[in-house]
Amino acid sequence: MTEPKPFVPGWGPVKVIFMACLLGTPMFWACAQQKGVKENTPEIVTPGKQTYTTETVVPGLDIPWGMAFLPGGSMLISEKSGTLIHFKDGKKTNVKDVPEVYFRGQGGLMDLELHPRYAENGWIYLSYSSQEGTGKGGNTAILRAKLEDDRLVDQQLLYKGVPNTTRGPHFGSRLEFGDDGMLYFSIGDRYNRDENPQDVTRDGGKIYRVRDDGTVPDDNPFVNQADAKKAIFSYGHRNPQGMAKHPDTGEIWVHEHGPRGGDEINIVAKGKNYGWPKITYGINYSGTKITDDTALPGMEQPFYYWVPSIAPSGMAFVTSDLYPEWKGNLLVGSLIFQYLERCVIENDKIAYREKLVPDIGRVRNVRQGPDGYIYVAVEGKGIIKIIPN
């Protein structure tokens, strides 16, 4: 995308800054450092010596959002525009009968996740922006289906956020199965921070937890609260576009986009409030304050936050023996700065940050494949494999 000019006839400076943010331009983010907020340490480093090479395994993709590795070595890839690709034996085949997506702004065909017992039951889970229901626009939906002769069959809609809205930002959405067998998923605040994130009677700005068939477990935190959305597991989130299960603790970790500054990593816990927009380390895109508070009673602090924002998307823990120096580390994609970030965790905090594959492009997702290799989805390029030297 062409970088916008600093000033456009008829535009005021505030609108220019706002549009630059929406387009994700280096021009905006270079000036995004806040005053009065100390950036989390440590600083990110770029090693002088590269310990890996890269290989493009699936070329020619536009905005690859989700990846799922099927038994037998093939891969499903979701394109944001609404195409589901089955990549097998070096060839891309478009899967048929994919649900229609509301392709607007940040909405489209998003994440993919296989059932933990996929080999037995064949269930594939998809998140996408859907126009189902009343009202104009769309909201995030969760569906499961099976793949048969490159068609999606036995489709079942498990959850649909309401209300529909024509707003383009903040659909979420990531999927992850927990050790409890439950499906966790995120829906962003749909750019309605004043109403959605702090209200458990409304969808948006939440992490949800359902059984694999979409029914709500009896031990969800708000099942007995009148008018609450029973599937909600935690609230006070902004726009979570990364989710991963910790390989040792089984905890569900998420990261979410902040506004101008204040991207966060949060460890999700039952019924907890993560504060948005009552507390934040970010500010408005215009430079004005959202709140004076970075902490309040009853609201969780992030495990980590970024100032300036990196625009995180995709998240994975390294468990593979192929990367002995990275084992146990957390990988996070950066859309705006166009690298993969390696986070070393020591004593319950991030002790070291490193840029991997710098300037690779807008990293949309990262996954560790069943073969142990790390795969990175890059906008405008495709799926790239990181190969240790």
What distance in Å separates the CA atoms of residue 208 and residue 235, rounded to the nearest whole number?
9
96 to each of 66, 100, 123, 144, 374, how far by Cα in Å? 17, 11, 16, 15, 28
CB 388 within 8 A of CB 52: yes
CA distances from 77 to 56, 84, 242, 331, 347 (A): 14, 6, 16, 19, 36
**Residues constituting the chain:** 389
Q: Name the pairing type of β-strands 374-378 and 363-368.
A: antiparallel
Residue 170 appears among annotated catalytic residues = yes
- Given the residues 115, 170, 237, 255, the one annotated as active site: 170
162 burial (CB, 10 Å; 0-12 / 13-18 / 19+) is: middle
Q: How far is CA 376 from the centre of its chain?
A: 14
DSSP label at residue 335: T
341 close to 44: Cβ distance less than 8 angstroms: yes
**Burial letters for 112-122: b for 16+ Cβ neighbours within 10 Å, e otherwise?**
bbbbeebeeeb
Distances, alpha carbon 179 to alpha carbons 155, 212, 245, in Å = 25, 12, 8
Question: Which positions are catalytic?
Answer: 170
